[in-house]
Structures are given as C-alpha cells and as structure tokens.
Amino acid sequence: MISRRRLIGSLAAGSGGLLLAGCDRLNASPRFRELLRGGEALTMRAQRLITDRGALAREYRPEDRSPVFRSNGTSMPSSAEYAAHMANGFADWRLRIDGLVARPLALSLAQIMAMPHRTQITRHDCVEGWSAIGQWTGVPLRLLLDIAGLREAARYIVFHCADDFPGARYYESIDLIDALHPQTIMAWGMNGARLPVPNGAPLRLRVERMLGYKHAKYVERIEAVASLAAIGGGRGGYWEDSNDYEWYAGI
Amino acid sequence: MISEPGKPGDIAPPPTAPARGDIRPLVRRHRLSTRLWHWLNALTVLVMLMSGLMIFNAHPRLYWGRYGANFDSAWLAIGATADEGRLRIGPCFVPTTGLLGLWTDHEGRVQRLAFPGWATIPGHYSLSAARRWHLAFAWLLVVPGLLYGLWSLLNGHVRRDLAPRRAELAPRHVWHDIVQHARLRFPTGEAATRYNVLQKLSYMGVLFLLLPLMVLTGLAMSPAMDAAWPWLLDLFGGRQSARSIHFIVAMLIVAFILIHLLMVLLAGPYNEVRSMITGRYRLPRERDE
C-alpha cells in the first residue's frame, strides 16, 4: 500500500520534469513532427469541408482602420535593382506572369493600374497574434490569371518577391481556391495612396482569409505551377521552408 | 441513493462483505467514459496551455476590439526594462523578474521572453513549433470533448451527476458548502458518492462554458473561419477581443486545475487518483461530530 502510495506521489512529482524534457525531445524528432503536421492537413480539410469556399472576409468601415498599420518583415528590399526601380517611380518595373499559362506576360505598373480594380478594407492578422485594419486597392488576381490563360495542369500560384531574406528572396504560394477568390487582389494602393515601400511597393498580394505571411510583398513574378516540390525547399514558401510554418495559413 | 445497479458507471450499493482490515466499502464512482476523457484531457489541456504560452510569447500584448498591434494600446503586456521583468495590466505594473519578461534559463542565460521556458512547449522560442503542437492537440481537445459532452448528455451523466438540483442552488446551501470546504470538512459516507454543489458548478462551468469558450475564441482568431462564420467576430467583439478572452479563459482553466489538484490532495490523493483510474472509491470515514 505504502509503496503504491509513494509510487503515485513520485510519478506526479516526476511527471512535470519528464513532460518538459519529453516534449522537447519529441519536438526534435522528425517522425513526431511529421505526426503533428498531420494536424495541419486535418485542419485544412476540415475548414474547407465545413465552410463556404467562396466566403468573403469581413470588410470594415474607413473609421475602423488602425491609426498606424504596422509593417512587418522587410521594410525596404536591399538590392540595387529595387533601389533603381524606386528611384524612377517603378516606371521600368514589370510584373511577369509565367509558368503553366498559355500567354506569359510582362505588365507595367501603369498597365496594372489601368485594369479594373477592387478596394477593400480588411483585417491583416499576423501569425504572431496582432491585427491591423487597412484599405487596399488592386487588381483581382483572377483577372491577371484569366488574361495569361491558366493551363489545366496549374494547381498553385507562386509569388516571387524582391525582398531578401537570409539565403533567399521571399516567395509564397496559394492554391486556386484562394487565388481565384474575389477578394484576392494584387494591391498597388493602400489607405487611398500608392502602396508605401514598407508595405510592399509597388505590388503586393492580399489573400484575405490567410495569415500575414501569405501576403507576399514586393511581388515581381507570378508563376503558375502543378506542384510546389520544385519551389524553394518544397514546402511552398520562405517561412514554410526556413522555419516549418504551416503552408495552410487559414488558422 | 439513486442507483440503477448493474449498469457500468452507476453508483453501486455498498458491497455487503467489506474487504478484510478496512471496513469502509469500495464503491463505483467514475464511469469509463469519464475516466478516459479525464486523463486524455489532463494531457491535452496541459499541452494546449504550454504551447499556448509559447504562442503568446510571440506577441505578449493583449487588446480589446477588432485590431491591435504595437502602436495600439494594450490592456495587458508582459515585457522588461533593462533589469526588471514587468507585467502590466491597465495602468498597474507588477514586477515579475525571474518569472515573466526577464528570467534565466536552465543554462544560465538571461532571456527576455514573456513566459519562461519551463512553462512553454517547446522550451525554447519557436512560434512555428508551438503552433504545430497547439493546432494538432486542439483536435484531441475538440473531438473527444464533443463526444464526451454528447455521451454525457445521452447517458444521463449530466442530468444525474452534474446538474445541480434546485434545492442545492439555494444560497443557504451553497454558502453552507463553501463554509464546509473552507474548513476542509469534506462530505463523508453516502454523501461522498455524489458531487457536492461546488463541484457540480465548477465541472459544469468548465465543461459547458470555459472549454466551449476556448474553442470558439480560438476559431475566432482564424481568418478563414472568420470569413466563413462572421458571427464569431460579432460574438466576441472582434478578433483581438477574442484573443484576450482566449487568454483570460485559459487562466481561469489554470485556476480550476490548481484548485482541483489542491482539493485532490486535501481529500486524499491516493483514494481520489485511484477512483479516476479504476473507477473505485473508498468512502471516507464518518467524522465524529
């Protein structure tokens, strides 16, 4: 009896320390991390299953906007090309659209701004937990993809960016459910002015049902692909490859 | 005693032939579904709490309303000056050096994260790993929780064992139970086979209020869920309010767990833990009044 009593007591006392050491060891195990990744697949499937795929993110009134919209990540790409584009107001800058499209394109900022545009006041949710509300103006991504003519085999849209991170330029990807969504725009305007440099000038992605790291800034190339395997480290984005963030950033 | 003998989990009448030595009878106390869910949840809630604290460390500030970031005013913030860890709630600063904001890790290095390594999963800063744990274990919280809640409604556990009766809710009765608890005089004999009103209220509160609030405020932080179920935002008054409520309710659950563990220790940990493992509980000795 006493020994069992002691056993339960020492189990309780030891379990705290063991749990912590155990969790860190589990966290380092590739097999366990793969198991946890299963949660991501489950979450994405469940969210897609129980929600309307075309549901619109809430749009806010102008007075609901954050007084200061926090910019995050890169606030100024460091390359000489970007500096040159910035110096002449992005007049020679081009957006390339290629990959699995019928008609690869190179569009100037003036051409993009002349296209039909959408203005929306939406909430930006960072993976860290903070939110900021801002107004965005841009061309629906769907229009750009329609002009380029998405091929049958295309499954994902990859955004190649001008901002440099350790070892790579920023890149992100979304699937066609989000790419063709009416609120998914390539924004060139913010809060009634041209998109500022810290927020991704001249052109950034707004994909309103996803966390902030999906909203690629400084986009200079949009590529349609059938698989993400050949993009960067194969997980579909800079943070996904470098720090094991989830590719599905809807939660 | 209300009992339907023979059905598993129901409280059986005391056996007529008690065990040698101890004359107090062993009774059936917790049914299998309760025991399974209890231990699964003990693990799941701990992982959710600890990985949640790591996620909080990524932005240790809380706001009310729709938006909230560094330039906006936070109602709660954990941070540090040059040499002091500080928790700020509204206008009040609490020094927390060594515990929050400024602490030394097990290798002796000074860290400036909000919650210390011993309280987080993983024990070092990693938002992405904490999210992997949190969002995977959320499934273990939600799916068995829904099944258990539904099963407890169907099998009468809620109605028979958890729902307080009208007489128990009389202020005098509740006050009597509070006084008895404060004097550490716990029910004995036949009364010990049932939950008292304070237990009923706290278990019902956790099961049907706190846990659903945790899940719903968690979902309200998901931009995809907000698009699909915009009522989540209206229910909590915006995403940042939902994040604040998520944190507050988590702290209430911590408080529940601490009181729960204290009560187990005071009521006799061996008997209590055994009853949650095997389902069998030895009735406490009658007090000499």
Question: What are B242-278's pLDDT values in tens digits?
Answer: 999 999 999 999 999 999 999 999 988 998 999 999 9
Chain A segment 94-133 residues within 8 A of B by beta carbon are 123, 125-133
Nearest chain A residue to B124, by CA: A24
Distance CA A170, CA A231 (A): 11
Picking from A123, A251, A210, A55, the residue whose alpha carbon sits closest to that of residue B219 is A251
pLDDT at A187: 98
Contact B128 A245 (CB under 8 A): yes
Contact B132 A47 (CB under 8 A): no
Query: Of A40, A132, A251, which has the smallest distance from its Cβ to B69's Cβ?
Result: A132
Rounded to two decimals, the ipTM of the complex is: 0.91
Contact B136 A243 (CB under 8 A): no
Q: What tokens does A11 get?
A: 């189990």
Contact B68 A58 (CB under 8 A): no
Q: What residue type is A206 in one-letter code?
A: R
Q: Which residues of B touch A127 (CB under 8 A)?
A: 58, 127, 131
Q: Which residues of B touch A37 (CB under 8 A)?
A: 132
Q: Indicate the pTM of the whole model.
A: 0.90
Residues with Cβ < 8 Å from A33, sequence gap 6 or more? A27, A244, B129, B132
- Low-confidence stretches of chain A (pLDDT < 50) are 1-2
The verdict on A146 touching B (C-beta cutoff 8 Å) is no
Does the domain spanning A61-243 belong to CATH 3.90.180.10?
no
Cβ-based neighbour number of residue B210 at 10 Å: 16
Query: Of A5, A66, A239, which has the smallest distance from its Cβ to B270's Cβ?
Result: A5
Contact A131 B47 (CB under 8 A): no
pLDDT at B230: 97
Give the minimum alpha-carbon distance from B100 to chain A in angstroms, rounded to a whole number. 18
pLDDT at B11: 45
Give the tens place of pLDDT for each residue, B192-248. Answer: 888 889 999 999 999 999 999 999 999 999 999 999 999 999 999 999 999 999 999
- The alpha carbon of A104 is separated from its chain's Cα centroid by a whole number of angstroms, namely 23
Nearest chain B residue to A32, by CA: B133
- Strand partners for B122: none
> Do B270 and B179 touch, CB atoms closer than 8 A?
no
- Strand partners for A185: A140, A206
Distance CA A18, CA A30 (A): 20
The verdict on A71 touching B (C-beta cutoff 8 Å) is no
Q: Which residues of B touch A250 (CB under 8 A)?
A: 222-225
Q: What tokens does B143 get?
A: 């799916």
Give the minimum alpha-carbon distance from A131 to chain B in angstroms, rounded to a whole number. 5
pLDDT at B247: 98
For chain B, what percent of residues have pLDDT higher than 70?
A: 91
pLDDT at A156: 98
pLDDT at A11: 54
CATH 3.90.420.10 domain range(s) in chain A: 61-243
pLDDT at A7: 56
pLDDT at B5: 37
pLDDT bin (cut points 50, 70, 90) of residue B31 is: confident
Residue A157 burial (10 A CB sphere; 0-12, 13-18, 19+): buried
pLDDT bin (cut points 50, 70, 90) of residue B9 is: very low
pLDDT bin (cut points 50, 70, 90) of residue B19 is: very low
Residues with Cβ < 8 Å from B115, sequence gap 6 or more? B53, B54, B56, B57, B60, B78, B100
Contact A244 B121 (CB under 8 A): no
Instruction: Count interface pairs A-B at CB distance under 8 A.
Output: 154
Distance CA B144, CA B140 (A): 6
pLDDT at B139 over 50: yes
Give the tens place of pLDDT for each residue, B67-114. Answer: 999 999 999 999 999 999 999 999 999 999 999 999 999 889 999 999
Nearest chain A residue to B247, by CA: A129
Distance CA B194, CA B208 (A): 20
Contact A33 B132 (CB under 8 A): yes
